[in-house]
A = this chain, B = another copy of it.
Amino acid sequence: MSERTEIASLGEFGLIEHLTRENETRNVNTILSIGDDAAVIDTFGKQMVVTTDMLVEGVHFDLMYTPLKHLGYKAVIVNLSDIYAMNAEPTQITLSIAVSNRFSVEALDEFYDGVNLACERYGVDLVGGDTTSSQKGFVISVTAIGEVEENKFVTRSGAKENDLICVTGDLGASYLGLLLMEREKQIYVENPNIQPNFENHTYIIERLLKPEARRKMIAWFKENNLTPTSMIDISDGLSSELLHICKQSEVGCTIYEEKLPVHEQTKEGAAKFGIAATTCALNGGEDYELLFTISPDDFEKVKECELLNIIGHITKPEDGKVLITNGNNRIELSAQGWNHLKNK
């Protein structure tokens, strides 16, 4: 070990690519392995989907403003979101936690209340896990398993020129919720007598602390017999996820600022913080919305659907990855999403 490469020099995705570059597939029932939101495993008839995520105190959440029940709920949701992003239905999860003795049983009960609530609402079984101690902090690891009809799963690599780019819900709210909580935390740390005022901000705070996964969109696809050509969930920001789709599909894209769905409270919050709401929508992250592409032939089906907004279309690779602003400027999209490893 004569040389030393800093993890930060690769970035999170670079690191994963690096670490898994020699990963081989050995079993015929492994249909899709590393490189998408989840892995697909044939289960003879239906196919099984599996995904996993780790949440680390001080990196992914701050217990000063994150209620444990919300944290438990969110830890499940972020994994279910990955399952839905495969066009699959989640069926089981496993949950492992490492906690220091700073936590009481009652505190862990609150956490599990949130986990159980998410499982109940989304019809998922908690089927295993591990509970251990940590020297410091709280670490959560969830693995979610889902099922999908044979070869109906949707990857990031199927987008074609002229496909429509769609996104569920609205974007940027969670990021503004985070900015708000961080600011109130600072104020509180400096003067504990000042109580935070969250009036008019309930939506963006809820989006941060208690996100939901887009189950209804997947159900709608099934009902309307529509299969997206590509799909991903938005955890690192619209821009970053769209670049994943373009890279893995070998295409370009054009999206329109005026089409980006942004909630009224997000706009107000952005104005207060003096940042553009569009920047939040593009790069905020933790939205857990679904970003997907559909064939233009399916336009008639989706045009009345209230679950989604069409924000642009797929182009030739040489046309680049572009945002057309309200002022009609062309801006090259870049990934400025979360990079936990770089921040440390």
- A276 is an interface residue with CB less than 8 A from chain B: no
Contact between chains at A29 and B91 (CB < 8 Å): yes
Of residues 22 through 37 on chain A, the ones whose CB sits less than 8 Å from some CB of chain B are: 22-27, 29-30, 32-34
Residues on B with beta carbons closer than 8 Å to the beta carbon of A125: 23-27, 30, 33
Count chain B CB atoms within 10 A of each CB in A59, A116, A132, A135 and give the residue with the most. Answer: A132
- Binding stretch for chain B, among A40-48, A171-179, A190-198, A295-303: A40-48
A129–B126 Cα gap in the complex (Å)? 19
Contact between chains at B44 and A92 (CB < 8 Å): no
Known contacts: A5-B106, A44-B44, A100-B344. The answer to whether A141 contacts B56 by CB under 8 A is: no
Residues on B with beta carbons closer than 8 Å to the beta carbon of A29: 91, 147
Residues on B with beta carbons closer than 8 Å to the beta carbon of A58: 135
Closest-by-CB residue of B relative to A53 is B130
Contact between chains at A139 and B136 (CB < 8 Å): no
Contact between chains at B116 and A51 (CB < 8 Å): no
Contact between chains at B92 and A30 (CB < 8 Å): yes
- A206 is an interface residue with CB less than 8 A from chain B: no
Count chain B CB atoms within 10 A of each CB in A23, A96, A127, A145 and give the residue with the most. Answer: A127
A104 contacts which of B6, B112, B141 (Cβ < 8 Å)? B6
Contact between chains at A139 and B54 (CB < 8 Å): yes
A103 contacts which of B7, B123, B135 (Cβ < 8 Å)? B7
- A326 is an interface residue with CB less than 8 A from chain B: no
Closest-by-CB residue of B relative to A33 is B127
Closest-by-CB residue of B relative to A43 is B43
Contact between chains at B92 and A132 (CB < 8 Å): no
A54–B131 Cα gap in the complex (Å)? 8
- A18 is an interface residue with CB less than 8 A from chain B: yes
Known contacts: A33-B128, A123-B26, A344-B101. The answer to whether A56 contacts B134 by CB under 8 A is: yes
Known contacts: A3-B106, A33-B128. The answer to whether A145 contacts B56 by CB under 8 A is: no
Distance to closest chain B CB from A145 (angstroms) = 7
- Binding stretch for chain B, among A9-17, A223-231, A257-265: A9-17
Contact between chains at A135 and B136 (CB < 8 Å): yes
- A66 is an interface residue with CB less than 8 A from chain B: no
Residues on B with beta carbons closer than 8 Å to the beta carbon of A92: 27, 30, 39, 41, 50
Of residues 79 through 119 on chain A, the ones whose CB sits less than 8 Å from some CB of chain B are: 91-92, 94, 96-101, 103-109, 112, 116, 119
Residues on B with beta carbons closer than 8 Å to the beta carbon of A119: 26
Contact between chains at A133 and B27 (CB < 8 Å): no
5 contacts between A and B (CB under 8 A): A24-B125, A30-B91, A43-B46, A54-B132, A101-B341
Query: Given A19-B131, A141-B141, list of 8 further CB < 8 A pairs?
Result: A19-B112, A39-B127, A41-B92, A45-B45, A52-B96, A52-B130, A54-B96, A56-B135
